[in-house]
Structure formats: C-alpha cells, structure tokens
C-alpha cells in the first residue's frame, strides 16, 4: 500500500507528504507494529515526493484506537489482570497538538525530508493512564499484574471485552511491550507551543466528547499511530490537500 501511495503521489505531482508513524526505537524482537511503521516511512522516502515524518505514541483523543481501547477497558472491567507491559513507559500526545504539528510543518520548508519525535510533556506507564481515565469515569480499576500473559492472549481478551477487533488489538497490544518516548525534541524548536499534559488532555476529552476536528478531540477517521497525508497542486491521493484536512476514503 505504501508503495502504491508513493507511486500515485509521483504521478499526481504531489509536492510533499506528511506521515504520522510510530514513536520508539525498533530493536530485534520488539513490536512488529513499530517495525511496520518504520518500513512504511522508508518506502515513502525512497519512492515518493519529500516526506516529513511525525513519530507519535498514543494519541489522546476520540477516535484513536489505542485511547478508545483503554477507555472501554476501564468502563467494562473493575478488575484488570494485565501483563507486565502495563508498567511500560509511554509519552502520549493530545490529538489537537498533533494536528497543529501536522499542519504547522508545512509552513517550514526545512522540515521536508526530516523526521521528528512528537509527544506531550508527560511520560507515564500505561497503568497510570488507565487509572487516570478511571478517575474521570469515577471507577478507577484495580490492576493485577501477572508474569505470563502472551500478546496473542492479551489481544484476544481485549478484542472480546472491547469494540476493538482482535486483528487490530494484536498490533496495539504488541506495541505496548516497547517503551515509546521521544528521543529528541527538535520539533519544539521549530514549532514552539504549549502542549497539553495527560490530565489536561483528559479535561478536553471529557469536557466535550464530540467537537469538530481541529478544535477539539473527536476525529473518528484519525488513526491511533499511523496515517499518510499528501500536499500538492494537483489531485492528491492523500487526505491532506493544501492546508485543508478531510477524512480519507479508505480509513488509513
């Protein structure tokens, strides 16, 4: 799919692509989901027009599959039996802040061909995020960590409990085994802004669960950790044309 997209961009005269990929360093034995995101970024850079890659962890906002998975788990399970990855650290970013970065890099030609780690100000384990969401719902879960719970079993359990399909839950659970924190902060020098922390992001999510895209938190077409946008003068095969955001036709 990445190859087809890159070739279509070349044929259509797309001038630039902004790709939202996964945050975190990929090492042997780590998340295949993260490795897949890295491969997509490489294909786009090699075959298509200049690419700006934004590497993000969990995106805090309605419509993000990882966030929705966590909230549904909290809503349905007063007691959670979890694997050890519940203690893995993550640096989430608020959806509105990510969208500002996504559009903002288009104003700076020096970001073309570059990749940036993007994350909010807080670094915290997945368990703390679940507890934080639980406090907002007035039902903080009791978390019991067990030493043996395979990714496949965890994904099956998540798919059974939540509305997230098992085939999507598996890569999400797989990725949670890897620490995903920013290794550099160059984007903050190019686009300085006040970023929402975890609790402030939850304030926005629970204050108004369904505002319009760009000004709030509900963007149901927005992927949790991956997406492709194109910008160009001609018809663009990607869902970003100029500075106008619109949902993609195929959900990617």
Domains of the chain: 2-245 (3.40.50)
Residue with tokens 């807080």: 122
pLDDT of residue 244: 34
Q: pLDDT tens-digit profile of 149-202?
A: 666 666 666 766 777 666 666 667 767 778 899 999 999 999 999 999 999 999
Which segments of the chain are extended strands (E)? 14-22, 51-56, 59-60, 79-82, 89-90, 93-94, 115-118, 124-125, 142-145, 227-232, 240-241, 244-245
pLDDT of residue 4: 85
Angle between helices 166-175 and 65-76 (to 10 degrees): 100
CA of residue 3 relative to chain centroid, distance:
21
Phi and psi, residue 141, nearest 5°:
-75, 155
CA 170/CA 168 separation, integer angstroms = 5
pLDDT of residue 149: 64
Residue with tokens 């650290």: 89
Q: Which residues of the chain have pLDDT under 50?
A: 28, 31, 211-252
Average of per-residue pLDDT values in the chain: 76
- The pTM assigned to this predicted structure is 0.76
- Angle at CA 126, nearest 5°, toward 124 and 131? 90
CA-wise closest residue to 61 among 215, 179, 169: 215
Q: Could you count the other beta carbons within 10 Å of the beta carbon of residue 236? A: 20
pLDDT of residue 227: 44
């Amino acid at each position: 799919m990445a190859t087809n997209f890159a070739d279509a961009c070349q044929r259509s005269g797309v001038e630039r692509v902004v790709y939202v990929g996964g945050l975190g360093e990929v090492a042997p034995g780590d998340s295949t989901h993260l490795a897949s995101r890295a491969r997509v970024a490489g294909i786009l850079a090699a075959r298509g027009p200049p690419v700006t890659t934004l590497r993000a962890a969990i995106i805090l906002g309605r419509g993000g599959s990882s966030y929705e998975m966590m909230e549904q788990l909290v809503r349905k399970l007063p007691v959670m039996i979890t694997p050890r990855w519940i203690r893995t650290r993550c640096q989430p970013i608020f959806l509105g802040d990510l969208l500002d970065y996504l559009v903002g890099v288009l104003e700076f030609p020096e970001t073309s061909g570059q990749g940036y780690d993007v994350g909010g100000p807080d670094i915290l384990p997945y368990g703390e995020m679940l507890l934080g969401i639980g406090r907002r719902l007035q039902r903080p879960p009791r978390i019991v960590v067990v030493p043996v719970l395979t990714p496949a079993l965890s994904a099956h359990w998540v798919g059974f409990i939540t509305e997230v399909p098992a085939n999507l839950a598996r890569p999400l659970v797989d990725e949670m085994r890897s620490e995903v924190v920013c290794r550099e902060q160059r984007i903050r020098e190019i686009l300085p802004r006040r970023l929402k922390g975890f609790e402030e992001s939850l304030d926005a999510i629970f204050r108004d669960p369904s505002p319009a895209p760009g000004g709030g938190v509900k963007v149901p077409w927005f992927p949790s950790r991956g997406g492709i946008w194109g910008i160009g003068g001609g018809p663009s095969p990607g869902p970003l044309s100029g500075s106008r955001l619109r949902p993609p036709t195929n959900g990617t």
